[in-house]
Amino acid sequence: MPTACEKRLCSHLRELLGTGPLTDQALGDARRRSELLTSGISTSADAKALGATAFVGGAIGAVALERPWHPEEISALVAQLATDSDVEVEAAGREVFRRALQAVEEAGLPGLHTIRAILSLLRAFTGMHEASLWTTAPTTALQCLVSVGADEPSRRMRAAARETLRSGRSRLAGRGLVHSLAISRWDRPVGALVFRARAAERDRIVSYAAEVEPTLGTALDRATVLSRNVARERLLQEASEKRSARLAYDIHDGPLQDLAALSGDVRLLRRQLERGLLDEAPPVVLGRLDDLEARLRALDGDLRAFAVSLDRATALDVPLAEAVRRQVAALGSRLSASVRLNIRGGEDLTPSQRYALLALVREGLVNAQEHGRASQIQVRISVGRRRTLATVEDDGRGFEVENTLQRAAKRGRLGLAGLAERVRMLGGTVRIESSPGGPTRLSAVLPHWESRADKRVRAA
């Protein structure tokens, strides 16, 4: 049961946070954390004060990334807690700060998000003017990962960060306004916390900063590992794009040219048979030639569509809607169904995501035409801030999904399986919905690329 103190604090927090799902979730999580901490403890004043402190700190930490806390708001909450719990204001403030920091750690946010939340809390609890975290990892160039309180760190703050990272020692600038603290991991400097504050406030801020150093170090490690992974992914991506472009050119200049020559030979043979230049051919021979020509045209369309899907200019250098239209056009006469496109966004996709979406469109169109005998095909792609949704839906005759996929795998036709694996490697999922009689829906969900989110955090 919440104590009277917690009820008053809850009311105060609701006044600050407003109503809504975010507030309800933050207060609910904070209350559960408080109850877990005080379970089995006597109902003494100390136990009640501990629960109230955990409740306030948990609520503050839970929304630290979603909304900036102002020092005045923190001061009012701490003052109310101190009065209700009969403890000193400074002691109450430090304990609430620790509990808020713990809530941020337990949230398991990506490295840069954790750093931003910590710096925002540090600024709100100490009243410092601005703070920023700097590092030279994973490169040797000095870079500011997160800055709060200022649009752009000053040259003086940059110089303080460079000196701290070079020497590995904190830099407290006497009566100056710019100070820096070394963030160490395994006895080596990995970052520099630089803040601007008056000399009279410096010691108090440093004591608070000492509380966050271990968490900042861990978050910095996670951010560095992610940055290195992103760099490796970009190198692999560029290599893959070059191989795809080379393969597209090789298909166009090799098999497609040979196929064109073979088609010409077949047409010539047919004309010779029709003119009686060879021995009289029975109608069945001419019928087989018709079938052979049709299969050659289909193979030509497949290879051209495949070459288009590999072409970097088609996939990357035009808007997504235009790339999809070219993909549809590349299938050409093979599509007797009417295709409707509904595409929103797409400029914020990575090259790998674009290739995956084009592969999904091609696979969906081919399957709808060849296996579903569809007359209408709807392609929908919606690129949002958090995820991308793509769907190819047709009005064809449908099929039993599990049995069809098993038979395709036995025959070595792995188009859908390969598509699912490509999307899975990007952190997404593929879903196939169908039944005899139709309709059939092939859909994919791709999450927003995390490194781009981190970029926005750094730029915010």
Instruction: Please tell me whether residue 194 adopts helix, strand or coil conformation.
Output: strand
- At residue 238, the 3 state secondary structure works out as helix
The alpha helices in 66-198, defined as continuous H runs, are 71-85, 89-107, 111-126, 155-167
Q: CA torsion 37→39→41→47, rounded to 10°?
A: 50
Percent of the residues in the chain that have a pLDDT greater than 90, as a whole number: 5
pLDDT at 390: 92
What does the alpha-carbon distance between residue 79 and residue 14 come to, in Å, rounded to a whole number?
17
3-state SS assignment for residue 363: helix
Q: Alpha carbon of 87 to those of 121, 207, 211: distances in Å?
A: 22, 20, 21
- Which single residue is written with the structure tokens 């500011």? 144
HSE-CB of 450 using CA atoms within 13 angstroms: 17
Q: Check: pTM over 0.75? Answer yes or no.
A: no
d(CA 124, CA 75): 9
d(CA 132, CA 295): 65
Residue 456: predicted pLDDT:
40
Closest Cα partner for 359 from 420, 410, 316? 420
- Record the tokens describing residue 10, joined without a space: 């809850």
Nearest in space to 447 (alpha carbons), one of 381, 390, 382, 388? 388
The closest of 454, 452, 450, 447 to 427, measured between CA atoms, is: 447
The structural architecture, per CATH, of the domain 127-238 is 2-Layer Sandwich (3.30)
- Least confident range from 11-25, 352-366, 444-458: namely 444-458
Confidence of residue 43 (pLDDT cuts 50, 70, 90): low
Residue 12 or 458, more confident: 12
The structure tokens listed for 146 are 């997160």
Mean pLDDT of 87-104: 88
The model's confidence at residue 229, banded by pLDDT at 50, 70 and 90, is low
Q: Collapse the DSSP code of 372 into the 3-class scheme (helix H, G, I; strand E, B; otherwise coil) and give the result.
A: coil
Question: What mean pLDDT comes out for the span 366-379?
Answer: 81
Q: End-to-end distance of the chain based on CA atoms, in angstroms? A: 40
Q: Which residue has the higher pLDDT, 231 or 332?
A: 332
Does 196 have pLDDT greater than 60? yes
pLDDT score of 342 more than 80: yes
Could you tell me whether strands 338-344 and 376-383 are parallel, antiparallel, or unpaired per DSSP bridges?
A: parallel
pLDDT surpassing 80 at residue 20:
no
pLDDT digit string, tens, across residues 314-337: 556 678 888 888 878 877 666 778
What crossing angle do the helices spanning 71-85 and 111-126 adopt, rounded to 10°? Answer: 70
H-helix segments, 336-400: 351-370
Q: Which pLDDT score, from 0 to 100, does residue 458 have?
A: 41
Across 123-131, average pLDDT: 89
- Which residues, including other chains, have CB under 8 Å from residue 206's CB and lie 6 or more apart? 172, 179, 181
CA atoms within 13 A on the CB side of 306: 16
Contact (Cβ atoms closer than 8 angstroms) between residue 51 and residue 6: yes
Residue for token pair 């504050």: 197
Residue 214 belongs to what H/E stretch?
A: helix 199-253
Tokens of 252: 């166009």
Please report, for the chain, how many H helices and E strands are present, in that order.
16, 9
Q: In this predicted structure, what is the pLDDT of residue 454?
A: 41
The CATH code for residues 336-460 is 3.30.565.10
Starting at the edge strand found earlier in the chain, the sheet holding 338-344 runs 338-344, 376-383, 387-394, 440-447, 429-433
- The token pair at 415 is 């188009």
139 contacts: CB under 8 Å, gap ≥ 6: none
Q: How many CA atoms lie within 13 A of 432 on its CB side?
A: 19
52-68: per-residue pLDDT in tens? 888 888 889 888 877 78
The identity of residue 104, as a single letter, is V
Those residues with Cβ within 8 angstroms of residue 273's Cβ, 6 or more apart along the chain or in another chain: 281, 285, 286, 289
- Predicted confidence band of residue 243 (pLDDT cuts 50, 70, 90): low
Flag whether pLDDT at 427 surpasses 70.
yes
For the chain, which residues make up each domain, given as ranges?
A: 1-107, 127-238, 336-460
The CA-based dihedral angle spanning residues 165, 167, 168, 172, taken in that order and rounded to the nearest 10 degrees: -90
Q: What single letter denotes the amino acid at residue 322?
A: E
In angstroms, the CA 410 to CA 415 distance is 12
Residue 185 has a pLDDT of 79
**pLDDT one-digit tens code per residue, 373-418:** 788 899 999 988 778 899 999 988 888 888 777 776 666 555 677 7
